[in-house]
Structure 1
Amino acid sequence: MKFVVNKFSSFVQNVIDHVTGAEAPNVYSQPQGQIDKVLHQLPQLKQKYRPTPWLSNQHVHLLYFDLIRKRTIKLQYDKIEQLTMQDGGITAIAWLGYDLPATTPTIVLMHTITGTPESMRELVKDLHAYTGWRVALCLRRGHAQLPMPVPKMNLFGSVEDLKEQINFIQQQFPQSELYGVGSSAGTGLLVRYLGEQGEDTPLKAAFALCPGYNTETGFENVHPFYSKIMTKKLFNKFIQPYANTWGESPALSKVLQAKTLLEFEQAYFEMAGYPDYQSYSQATNPIYVFENVKIPLMILNAEDDPVCHIRNFEPYKEVIRSMPNIAVVTTKKGSHCGFYQGVKYTHSWANKLVADFLLTQEKEK
């Protein structure tokens, strides 16, 4: 009887898996590369990622993540410190686990395109809970209603600002090992920084969650609905509240005509401090320095992501397979930055993978 019940349960689970798109992840890496040892220590990569059944549609999944989940997670940061950059611009760091022992590792977290301490609560809370480490969320200019005394912003962030933020973190916790995590647009800043720095970085390993790879082409593949919605968010977050800061900026009229993320990105370069789009892209696009990343880096994409489309990854598969320190993980489902699993209690499969990867790297060092 037990055998029959087990067979029936297995049959039912297989049917559910087929309907919801539950499959084991695909992993792209150099065989026998230095990161290979770590991959074998992550059981999630050998098992099926089973999305929450009622979130198996990528649009429902994303709307749940963006409109419900972000607003229901409760988290009180220890403190948020504003930092003045060398040119007078303002950034900030939101801390969780600030009072942990001085030798506790610190996760340097780079947020999404319109990220705030509130919108990043789930990832911050999960990383802290799973690892027991300190988390330093690096807020970019204009985010979280920070003052903008200098008319300068960047959708993907500034490497120079990040370097100043990392220096500040090191000054506060000189005995703490640092690890990097980027989410969505934050992956552009993370990888650009890692590529520019090569081996000259205090970060021991890093994780890029839902990157778009080449920033010159990535916005072309964003689903039209989300492109329009996110463009309106950019106006509401970075243009309208800082009207006095932008003043008579030559780029402002062109930016205000933008209807899509691609149009916005191609028009706002002067607001980022560059004379033309080519200069802006050469200085910020992570793909130009990607092959110079030297520390262990894991990347995660969902094949049904409507924002950072999986086709963005396609041109770089062979390059990644040639790099011993890089691994790309793809899942059939997961949408954009969600990756929820569970029925009664939904939780992020991806956040656990990020934490486990970093913990494994800490053990390996």
Structure 2
Amino acid sequence: MVSSFAKLALRLRHFVPFLGASAMFALVPTGAVAADDPAMFESVRQADLRVATIGWRLASANVALCDRLEAGTGLQLHTLDQFDGGSREDARVHFTFATPVAIEGVVAGSPAEIAGLKADDSLVRVGSVDIAALPGKPMTTDRLVAAQLAIAALPVDAPIAVEVLRGGAPVRVTLQPIPVCKSRFEMRIARDWGASADGTMVQIGSRFVEEYRDEWLAAVMAHEFSHNILRHREKLEARGVNFGMLSGFGKNVKYFRQTELQADLLGVYLMANANYPVRAAIDFWKVFGPSKAGGILRSRSHPSWRDRVSTLEAEIAKIETISARPIVPAVLTDRAVPLDGNWERLIVRQR
């Protein structure tokens, strides 16, 4: 049976970025869907906002742990160029596009909401960024990407003048951004259970979003986010490892296991700082591990899920003795140290 998220694809061309940290909702074409269904459009919007909200919470609460920051706005953007000819006009009407890039959603409590910006506002100018002047080929997401990058690059602590069109009338507000950790968050429409990080982006598969509650999504996203904070992609590349299918063979194994355990450890601190229940990470693994990460499904590049649970339990016991927030954990010092492959020193074996 095709999942409800697979049906959300609608023939969208690429993604919807969220600014600060820049979350994106990646939609892959999956076949014929009623593109003029307002409920379907709203399902896309709400699913994207859910991922954006978790990403915002993690990125804004952990600034003390990040050395790469951007201007956090809480804006979630999209473009009419994401839609093909069969759904383009329906999308234009539903989302009231009046400019090339518009606001798909606004994270609750973010600077964008405080400034009075609303879903379906069409962007005219954001600070020095003139939306109409952004480069990009028609029917691509070029201008959307350009808008996301330009807005995220604005000063993290200076007010931003924003001009939008709302119901055809100009509206001008001043937005005060906040510093947030630099990372994009993306939901990928897929039937697998993939989640990954590439140094600048966190990607989580739609099945997680469809089937798991927010605190479990936060556990997965915090783990992947930790890879970016700890610069694992750069460090793995420096070690000359093989990615993909070859990651579980030869010298690759020790380095990947080291990064996985470091990300497990840092991830629960990111959750704690964002006021997510840290034991949700254990609950997640006890459900996900036996059916999705055990037996023949286990990757040799990752420690066993049981040992990961034992390691998390030991670290969470430490967290539960600390009341102050944010906590800056010892594992963060590993960011400045090359990978040595000594993953055994990090793990707590199941007894």
Same fold (TM > 0.5):
no
Greater relative contact order, per chain length (Cα 8 Å cut-off, separation 6+): 1
State TM-score, norm by structure 1. 0.26
State TM-score, norm by structure 2. 0.27
